[in-house]
Amino acid sequence: MAVIKADPFDFPFDPATLGLVVIDMQRDFMEPGGFGATLGNDVSLLRAIIPTTAQLIAGFRAAGLPVIHTRECHKPDLSDLPPAKCNRGAPSLRIGDPGPMGRILIAGEPGVEIIPELCPIAGEIVIDKPGKGAFYGTDFGAVLRDKGLKQLVFAGVTTEVCVQTTMREANDRGYDALLATDATESYFPQFKQAAIEMITAQGGIVGWAASTTKILEALNA
């Protein structure tokens, strides 16, 4: 067994069952004019993790380990968008409205695409999800089983919403989950810190956390 130096204790892993899941690094969340900006957020906070996330992805690719990407988006007819989600808050544009990058968070529109700096390569799976978590309404679970994955490293945005939700879903399904702390971010830095503390509390009640450097050191070893 290889080991990643992590909190709250070391994360032992079998490279044959380890994969990277990169959550929602999409233009709609990461670029001006997207859904994140319509909610009044500063997207530069999220963009700060692009270099580190790129390093993490490159490390998994170099090790020959799977990289799976997710995108939050909805059908053009909005049949998978419940009113409770659509009507939440007071954004300047709602999901489905026309925006600078096409209709907000709609499958097939430019804003849904993963940012160019982290674009998937041939053979990498992209999961389109209608909810916060990657398991809901998708074939994510089947993909993990088909690839024989049992241990997952997580990166992406936002830490306290889609990333943490998917980690909790994974934990409930028996997967070991580790968060790459410098390859995830929130529009609210205090929320990121709180999410990491919740994930690792009580002996890793949800999972582990480690820096990209520690993760790549273990892969390279």
Residue 136 DSSP SS3: coil
- Which is the catalytic residue, given 28, 128, 129, 192? 129
| 64 phi, psi to nearest 5 deg | 75, 25
- Which is the catalytic residue, given 128, 132, 162, 214? 162
- Which is the catalytic residue, given 24, 128, 176, 182? 24
Q: What is the 3-state secondary structure (H, E, C) of 46-88?
A: HHCCHHHHHHHHHHHHHCCCCEEEEEECECCCCCCCCHHHHCC
Contact 179, 167 (CB under 8 A): yes
- Active-site annotation holds for 162: yes
- Active-site annotation holds for 129: yes
Q: Sheet holding 176-185: strands in order across?
A: 125-129, 67-72, 18-23, 151-157, 176-185, 208-210
In 3D space, the residue among 112, 111, 173 whose CA is nearest the CA of residue 140 turns out to be 173
Distance between CA atoms of residues 193 and 195, nearest Å: 5
CB atoms under 10 Å from CB of 193, counted, come to 14
- Active-site annotation holds for 85: no
Residues labelled catalytic = 24, 129, 162
